[in-house]
Amino acid sequence: MSRAARRGRRAPEPAAPGGPAAGSYEISTGTAELVPDEYAPGSWVLHVNGVPSSHVDPQHPERLDFEYMRWIAALVHAHVGAHLDPSALRVLHLGGGACSMARYLAHAYPAARQVVVELDGRLAELVRQWFDLPRAPRLRIRVGEARAVTESLTPATRDVVVRDVFAGSTTPEPLTTVEFARHVARVLAPGGLYVLNCGDTRDLAGARAELAALSEVFEHVGAVADPAMLKGRRYGNIVLAASAVPLPGAGSPEAAALGRELLGGAVPAQYKDGAWARSFVAGTPPRRDAAPPPAPRAP
């Protein structure tokens, strides 16, 4: 691991030496492979330790190929339109990959200030070299562990927090607990939004536990997924949202507009509001941080 990663500092911002090149690259946490997208000439898929992590179209930052990222974008747009100032947006990304979502939001909200937290310092350097990312202060990449960085931030300094952190196919448990949700709530400014990607199996136990944790901390929660996922028919992604201010409610014009947008993708999805979430998690205990070991008794 690089010195920057060990110290939790921002990654260097080197000048791009010539753009992306297909191949396998050693990174701090294993191996990254950059593969041309055979179905979209000029686009690239980044695999991290064998798992597809990001899709990037260098010429079209507004293009999001992964469906769950489109769902995140739809939730962000709906929330910004209702509660936040698009000319002064502050976004924290927990999990970097190839910075696809950060590139998208930089295109959608040119005045936004964004910080991407990426555990792998070498990967952060490569992504800066491969792709035309906005420069600091519009987009900074900070090397560090997502929870540690979140805990270090000043209260009420972020309008949107996006969590998309995976170790293999699962999110590290310390980022799924009630206590972590409280750290995110502390960092969010009034009216802020927390949106997170939850990869889950057919029993949906992870999504239930995460929504239970969010419901204990935030007054308003919601979810987006495709119908097959919500019915427990396959492994996939559920995008969750939480805020101290209202999210679109069932039957509202905002929920109807969001629903129409979600139905327009290659994988049509559904938006579920807080009432659905309460029913979905009924009786499910949230995850909590492990209790610290008891102090040794004095002799």
Residues that are catalytic: 164
Question: Mind giving me the DSSP string for 102-125?
Answer: HHHHHHH-TT-EEEEEES-HHHHH
E strands of 112-186, at which residues? 113-118, 139-143, 158-163
Max alpha carbon distance in the chain (Å)?
Answer: 70
Q: What amino acid occupies position 129?
A: Q
Residue/partner pairs of 39-44 with CB below 8 Å, 24 or more apart: 40/65, 44/20, 44/98, 44/130
Q: Cα–Cα distance between 169 and 195 in angstroms, integer? A: 18
Query: SS3 of 211, please?
Result: helix
Q: Cα–Cα distance between 140 and 161 in angstroms, integer? A: 15
Residue 290: other Cβ atoms inside 10 A:
9
